[in-house]
Amino acid sequence: MFAEPNHILPTLAHELRQPLSTMESIAFYLELAFPHADPKLKAQLERLRDAVAQSDSMLRDALALAQLDAPRPVTVDLEELIEEFASPHFTLQLAAVPVQMDYLHARKMIETLCSLFLHQSPSQGRSIAIQCAGADRVVLTVTALQGPHEGASLSWLCLESLAQANGVTLEHRRRASGQQELLVSFPRAHAFLPHPEPVASALAATASASVAAGSSTLAVPDTL
């Protein structure tokens, strides 16, 4: 009997993290061993670390898709999640306006959203803002010089799937200045619905199966 894909994926993710962790360790060691190395070498090491971070992010997104449960709407503080995943890589203009959706889905959405823009856009001009749109919606606007390609990656598919499951809409716009905007519209919370205890990380929430039996977790570079 063949194993189901959802059973194979956690094992595959764990095994892929071993070579990724090795590459991250090598880059870290080379930076320590050659502190005065040529700037071009340092730039290549940074590219390697970023590639490791991107690969790990895609593994987490794949696990989130494979283990996507029906949403359980609660009151979620987006401001708190954005500060956790976006700071200090984005300029933030936040407001304490709660939204109503599944807590773990919201957490994964913000993590994936930040990761997409972090790895696919230059640091200049990256910003996130929150504002109310009428009485029933809260809009999160991500602005950058370059945005992710819609539908072109597993991470974007993860973002779309989580959005659709929770009544969240995504709209891409291009400003006259050339900057790109992604508008993420959430249902606004009007009544308090308690959420479960926060998890230590989105990886713990979406990939708990992959770290069972004492397996190690990748030390992600200092990007997210």
Average pLDDT (140-166) is: 81
For helices 5-33 and 39-66, what crossing angle results, to 10°? 160
The pLDDT assigned to 2 comes to: 47
| DSSP codes of every residue in 47-103 | HHHHHHHHHHHHHHHHHHHHTPPPP-EEEE-HHHHHHHHHTTTSEEE-----EEEEH
**25 CB neighbour count, 10 Å cutoff:** 12
Share of the chain above pLDDT 90, in %: 19
Weakest mean pLDDT among 25-29, 75-79, 181-185:
25-29
Q: Is 180 helix (H, G, I), strand (E, B) or coil?
A: strand
Distance CA 78, CA 23 (A): 33
Higher-confidence position of 176 and 109: 109
pLDDT digits (tens, 9 = 90+) for 76-120: 999 999 998 888 888 899 888 899 999 989 998 998 888 888 876
Average pLDDT (208-221) is: 39
- 212 — pLDDT class (breaks 50, 70, 90): very low
Average per-residue pLDDT for the chain: 76
Angle at 92 between CA 88 and CA 97, to 5 degrees: 130
What Rg do the C-alpha atoms of the chain give, in angstroms? 18
State the DSSP H helix or E strand holding residue 208, giving kind and residue range, or none if neither: none
Highest average pLDDT, of 56-60, 81-85, 144-148, 153-157, comes from: 81-85
The pLDDT assigned to 220 comes to: 38
The pLDDT assigned to 19 comes to: 82
Higher-confidence position of 68 and 83: 83
Average pLDDT (18-39) is: 83
Residue 218 has pLDDT above 50, yes or no: no
